Amino acid sequence: MPHDTDATPDTPWTRRPAHRAWLADQADRLWRFFEGAADSAGGFHTLDTEGRPRPGDGFRDIHDTTRMVHCFALAEIAGRPGAAPVVEHGLRFLRDAHRDPDRGGWLWSARADGARRGRKTAYGHAFVLLAGASAARAGHAAGRDLLDEAAAVIDRHFWDEAAGALREEFEPDWTEIRGYRGQNSNMHMVEALMAAHRATGDALFLTRAERIADLIVNRLARATGWRLGEHFDEDWQLDRGYRGDPMFRPAGITPGHGLEWARLLVELDRATGGRPWMIEAAKGLFARALALGWDADRGGIVYTVGWDDRVEIADRFWWPVCEGIGAARALTPHLPEAEGWYRRLWDLAATRFIDHRHGGWHPQIDAEGRPSSDPFFGKPDLYHALGACLVG
């Protein structure tokens, strides 16, 4: 590993060759841990703590399949041998298992024998678009086919032109599940749309990403003091009392999503050539999310906070730390305190979340800072952790 003999305490870590080498090594360890997850029957196994397949019924959730395609497409772009077959394996499963051949779109869960279940969600389709865009950039013709088909499905069913955002959820026959709009699916669609723009150069993708960001952040989050609302009705009125799925739609405010948006806004500002409000909003979300979510006594970022600013779910998961790292890195040129948070969060990750023995990251820690389980078990995926390692 290179040595940074000329670095001073004020030199940002990401300008130090030794730190960048450490990040590259951590990314390599993640790819190595997960590259054996491919199931010969189709799709990808979920892995236990040591990287072995966890028992299950064979159904694969679409966010797991698509994230593997996306992450190994990034590995292929970086020049990692063996990544391309993983991408191809995932693309086949998306085409042959998750995809609805009769009515279009992709179902939430699928099995190699052709069984499918679940609904067609904006969240899932955002990740299909992301997988297609990343695979296309890596040179896979099937990736470009997936991107084009996903974009057409999203345009036909999910995009609400009047709102400038997404409809949320449909039954398999495309009957809409009414009454709810969510920021989480729209946030991930912004990520996917920017990736699709990079892969194709089509300006419409970037225009739609900007429209979503303007609605959810510039208008709605600004109005609540940069407390990022998660749940809305069909008219995009905030529903503070919503209590839904504790995994994908937890009640209240999720500070990790505020950090994720902060990173995305810096990327979107760069992609669009700069908008006066985006860096301001990124700073506001970053500061508010850490003020609400950082556990100053035990370290880590709590999962949810109520609209009274009190902690509701105090569990400390890996992914908000990863998103905090990405946001701090993105904001370092714009915010003096961001570098300190970048170092603090990596220190926490290295001492509490990274599994130096088996590989991957522990998904959560208990009150004493030890690895724990429930609601996450084993090593869920590499998407968030890899993103933290690949920050520019």
The residues that are catalytic are 257, 384
**Nearest CA-CA partner of 277 in 357, 218, 336, 207:** 218
**Nearest CA-CA partner of 321 in 345, 305, 342:** 345
| Partners of residue 232 on adjacent β-strands | 181, 238
**Amino acid identity for residue 189 in this structure:** M
Chain-centre distance for alpha carbon 205 = 18
**Nearest CA-CA partner of 168 in 262, 267, 87, 239:** 239
Contacts of 84-90 with CB under 8 Å at 24 or more apart are: 84/138, 84/140, 85/38, 86/35, 86/38, 87/135, 87/138, 87/140, 87/143, 88/140, 88/142, 89/38, 89/44, 90/38, 90/43, 90/44, 90/65, 90/66, 90/131
Cα 92 from Cα 42, distance rounded (Å): 8
DSSP string, 58-97: S-EEHHHHHHHHHHHHHHHHHT-TTHHHHHHHHHHHIIII
User: Tokens standing for 150?
Assistant: 């996903």
Cα 160 from Cα 43, distance rounded (Å): 32
How far apart, in Å, are the Cα atoms of 350 and each of 26, 122, 361, 379, 389?
Answer: 10, 34, 9, 16, 12
Contact between 258 and 321 (Cβ < 8 Å): no
Cα 229 from Cα 224, distance rounded (Å): 8
Cα 117 from Cα 171, distance rounded (Å): 10
Decide: helix, strand or coil at residue 308.
Answer: coil
**Inter-helix orientation angle 122-137/183-200, to 10°:** 20
DSSP 169: E
